[in-house]
Structure 1
Amino acid sequence: MSYPHLVHHGAARGVTGSCHRLQFAEDRALLVDCGLFQGGDAVGADTLAQHRVEFPVADLLALVVTHVHIDHVGRLPYLLAAGYRGPILCSPPSARLLPLVIEDALKIGFTRDQRLIERFLDEVGERLVPLDYRHWHALIDDARHRVRVKLQRAGHILGSAYVEVDFEDRATGGRHRTVFSGDLGAPHTPLLPAPRSPYRADTLVIESTYGDRDHEDRTERRERLAAAIDRALANEGSVIIPAFSIGRTQELLYEIESLIHRGRSPRWRDLEIIVDSPLAARFTEAYRALKPWWDAEAHRRLRSGRHPLSFENLYTVDSHDAHERTVEYLARTGRPAVVIAASGMATGGRVVNYLKRMLGDPRHAVVFVGYQARGTPGRAIQRYGPSGGWVELDGERFDIRAHVETVGGYSAHADRRHLLDFIRRMRHPPRHIRLVHGEPEVQEAFRQRILAWAREAGHGVTVTLACGEAG
């Protein structure tokens, strides 16, 4: 076996469960992310067996966390249970946000015993090593190897990073630089600076979630979001937006504050914007505390006296009783409101209760703003809703009469054009590209797009698919 060598423990044939091993020698490796499988990527009912970490951990120099979405960090409890005792490297904002994600994951999948949760969080806290962006950090430097890592802003959610790994074999003098994209964000994402390509890479491991399509631009997506809300106002209904608690919720609040500030119509002044997720509320509070990592546009709003994540029309639903009252009130009265609730793919959480009560009522609208993985209720509503189909929620069939819309420009993921830009804007583009984090047909479509660019640019490159198809 030649080193460094790539092995994938997740996100090879799908878009969740990201977990990638870079092997430097038989006894030395680096792990990048350790996430949960979700939707169609989760095999069978026994998710415990699928998520149990059965790959080697004794050889790991470190775990690097690109960002704190559950499909990138959710297997962390399983990793520690398997005996991993090394450091957890991440950006400073991720170090602040990660305990919130893990606490929620533990309560859902393991235990609600607060003492056990606190004990586990203490262990995670002891292992967290925040790394500043743009600085090399040595993992090991001895007679055999020098391994360094550097985090760069990825523009996906606050704290997200792509990872540069510099490997030197002291015995042979060989050097190799591997770049893991993590999840790359699109330019002009609210609150976040756009990612900039690295100077060089020998091997690039890059996501391909939207490798077969392009998003709307920011102006178009904002107008489509506003139009969906306008329709609900006219119909005297509510807009339900399934959104992940971290990242998408905060960006939506930022955009909605902008629409209200511009005075789109008099009716918007009294429109209630409801965040129904205790976890999202905690993340929003953390986002406010992490202002130093916001982009320049957001700081200009702050200096002008605006508060893009805390404004007059914004209401937070905390307790479960308040949640049930809110669902009942909106379903009964049809009072115009925008409800942002988790989970983003409608696989669980409070958004499911809104969907159960409101999908059958044409006054209401469901607006998807993020990727809906195969096998999730969100994908089913997205696919069958426009034709008046049905979806199964908690084992019960619900007809879809509400208006269903997808505003793709709010996806946290870069699209085909921006993924390709990330590659071609390197001063020294990679000779080997491995596609991960995408459904097989999408990986192949993006592979063909990369090869077309390479032929046109006269650049020799091998593109292999983590899903196992020939490169």
Structure 2
Amino acid sequence: MEFPALSHHGGTRGVTGSCHQLHLDGTTSLLVDCGLEQGADAAPGAEFAPIGFDISGIQALVVTHVHLDHVGRIPALLAAGYRGPILCSEPSAKLLPLVLEDAYKLRVSADQVQVERYLALLQRLVVALPFEQWHDVVESKGVSCSVCLQRAGHLLGSAYVECDVRYPGTEPSARVVFSGDLGAPCNPLLRALQPPERADILVLESTYGDRLHAERSSRLQRLEAAIDRALADSGTLLIPAFSLGRTQELLYEIEDILHRKCLLSEGKVAGQGDPLLTLDWSRLPVILDSPLAQRITQAYTQLHEYWNCDARQRLGQGREPLGFGQLVSVDTHAKHQQVVNYLKSTGRPAIVIAGNGMCSGGRIVNYLKAMLGDPRHEVLFVGYQAKGTPGAILQASEGAEGFVQIDLDGEMYDIRAKVMTLSGYSGHADQAGLVEYAAGIPQAPTKIVLVHGESRAKTALANALKRRFSALGECPDILVAK
């Protein structure tokens, strides 16, 4: 085997389970991500399965970001005896325990003693690395390796990983880059993605390798229009959202909308007789009903130094984009049920953000049961809905006429509420973004390995990359990981 070499323990059959091993020599390696296969990618019982590969010789686990499809197998890795460092960015070091604690309670054990023991072990192993600084991971006579984390723009703390591998008497070093998940442009909180200076081997995600995203720059206006429409009917706007990343983006943009609405109302800028002027925008409740999303949002607020310039400038103006006065956090289940009953029985407008994002469980389900039958309300989807989930079924009812129902927890519910999908919130780069990232490397990679995507997406991205590099007079070897 020629080194450095790659093997893949996930992220090859679909868009989840990323787990890649970089072999430096016959006995020494790094692991990049240790993700859980989810949805259609997962075998039955995947969340409880053993790690499934030999961990001897792994010197470090490097985490690109803290979504479960990149970190969800860490409990299995620890159960297999791994006690090496878990390297990640400084924001990820704060977010990782929150995400894994929640997953551990749901999938392994809710026993507090076990949970605390697990978190204590995790905290001992996590090593927070600054962005844009090289960190020595392996130093030996036969091989040495340093890693550097660069911002990936996918969610707060997300990184792509540069690995610089050096062998005695061999120059230059070998540079292997793992993309992790790359973000789409125009994220309201995060700094823009920049391609690496160099990559001999590029391991590249391909989630949206076969499509282009809808225009993102107008999404704030479209979100505002959805809020106006729902609230004009004195209804509740229900937004099923994922706790990490999407919820924080939504809060940031809702704060901006409400801030401007309050200024308009105070200045009477809107037309006379405008029914929306009768709303007291300064008192419109924005209800965040997800304990995990609340903890993550608090961590995001504490990590404001990693926000982009525009977001930090808003803080400097005395505003609180993720903790504004109208934001109501619902913690206990009893309070959650009270809020559901109150909104169902009154005509007071409200915005509710609740988990889970695909309506397959979590607190959003109780809101749906209570409100789907009332046309005053609206369900707004801002994220991907996996095939077969209640969210996908509900989303498919958008614009339907006549009698439509949905099964929630074994009971049928009429869908009379409005249903809308708001595009432009994907956290992943599309085909154009992925091609620009790869083609933006000053010297073309020798090899590009495509991972983390459906077969059709990988094929389409491979063809797009070949066309782009051919136009540049380059011809890297483009492979699909197996």
- If the length of structure 1 is used for normalisation, what is the TM-score? 0.93
Q: Please say which of residues 331-340 and 228-237 is displaced more in the overlay.
A: 331-340
Q: Please say which of residues 90-99 and 6-15 is displaced more in the overlay.
A: 6-15
- Preserved contact between residue 36 and residue 74 of structure 1 (Cα < 8 Å): yes
Match of 1:351 in 2: 364
Q: Tell me how far apart the structure 1 counterparts of residues 116 and 10 of structure 2 sit (CA, whole Å).
A: 28
Q: Tell me: CA distance 1:38–1:290, structure 2 relative to 1, closer, same or farther (3 Å).
A: same
Match of 2:60 in 1: 62
- Which of residues 313, 320, 337 is equivalent to 1:324? 337
In the TM superposition, 1:1-400 aligns within 5 A as 1-44=1-44, 46-49=45-48, 51-170=49-168, 175-263=173-261, 266=277, 267=279, 268-333=281-346, 335-387=348-400, 390-400=405-415
Q: Tell me: CA distance 1:72–1:405, structure 2 relative to 1, closer, same or farther (3 Å).
A: same
For the residue of structure 2 that corresponds to 1:449, the secondary structure is helix
- Preserved contact between residue 154 and residue 427 of structure 2 (Cα < 8 Å): yes
Q: Please say which of residues 442-451 and 104-113 is displaced more in the overlay.
A: 442-451
Could you tell me which runs of 5 or more consecutive residues in structure 2 were left unpaired when the two chains were aligned: 265-275
In the alignment, structure 1 residue 442 sits paired with structure 2 residue 457: yes
- Preserved contact between residue 382 and residue 404 of structure 1 (Cα < 8 Å): yes
Q: Tell me: CA distance 1:76–1:368, structure 2 relative to 1, closer, same or farther (3 Å).
A: same
For the residue of structure 1 that corresponds to 2:247, the secondary structure is helix
Could you tell me which runs of 5 or more consecutive residues in structure 1 were left unpaired when the two chains were aligned: none
Q: Tell me how far apart the structure 1 counterparts of residues 408 and 462 of structure 2 sit (CA, whole Å).
A: 36
**1:403 corresponds to which letter in structure 2?**
K
Q: Tell me how far apart the structure 1 counterparts of residues 42 and 376 of structure 2 sit (CA, whole Å).
A: 34
Q: Tell me: CA distance 1:343–1:170, structure 2 relative to 1, closer, same or farther (3 Å).
A: farther
- Preserved contact between residue 15 and residue 373 of structure 1 (Cα < 8 Å): no
Q: Tell me how far apart the structure 2 counterparts of residues 174 and 145 of structure 1 sit (CA, whole Å).
A: 13
Q: Please say which of residues 396-405 and 185-194 is displaced more in the overlay.
A: 396-405
- If the length of structure 2 is used for normalisation, what is the TM-score? 0.91
For the residue of structure 2 that corresponds to 1:330, the secondary structure is helix
For the residue of structure 1 that corresponds to 2:218, the secondary structure is helix
For the residue of structure 2 that corresponds to 1:409, the secondary structure is coil
Q: Tell me how far apart the structure 2 counterparts of residues 228 and 458 of structure 1 sit (CA, whole Å).
A: 47
Deviation (angstroms), 1:334: 5.0
The alignment yields a C-alpha RMSD, in angstroms, of: 2.1
Q: Tell me: CA distance 1:394–1:119, structure 2 relative to 1, closer, same or farther (3 Å).
A: same
Identical counterparts, % of pairs = 52
**2:380 corresponds to which letter in structure 1?**
V
Q: Tell me: CA distance 1:444–1:452, structure 2 relative to 1, closer, same or farther (3 Å).
A: same
Deviation (angstroms), 1:119: 0.9
Q: Please say which of residues 169-178 and 425-434 is displaced more in the overlay.
A: 169-178
- Preserved contact between residue 6 and residue 23 of structure 2 (Cα < 8 Å): yes
**2:422 corresponds to which letter in structure 1?**
V
Deviation (angstroms), 1:39: 2.1
Q: Tell me: CA distance 1:455–1:411, structure 2 relative to 1, closer, same or farther (3 Å).
A: same
Q: Tell me how far apart the structure 2 counterparts of residues 401 and 161 of structure 1 sit (CA, whole Å).
A: 43
Q: Tell me how far apart the structure 2 counterparts of residues 7 and 359 of structure 1 sit (CA, whole Å).
A: 47
Deviation (angstroms), 1:168: 2.2
Deviation (angstroms), 1:173: 5.5
For the residue of structure 2 that corresponds to 1:196, the secondary structure is coil
For the residue of structure 2 that corresponds to 1:31, the secondary structure is strand
- Preserved contact between residue 39 and residue 376 of structure 1 (Cα < 8 Å): no
Q: How many equivalent pairs are there?
A: 465
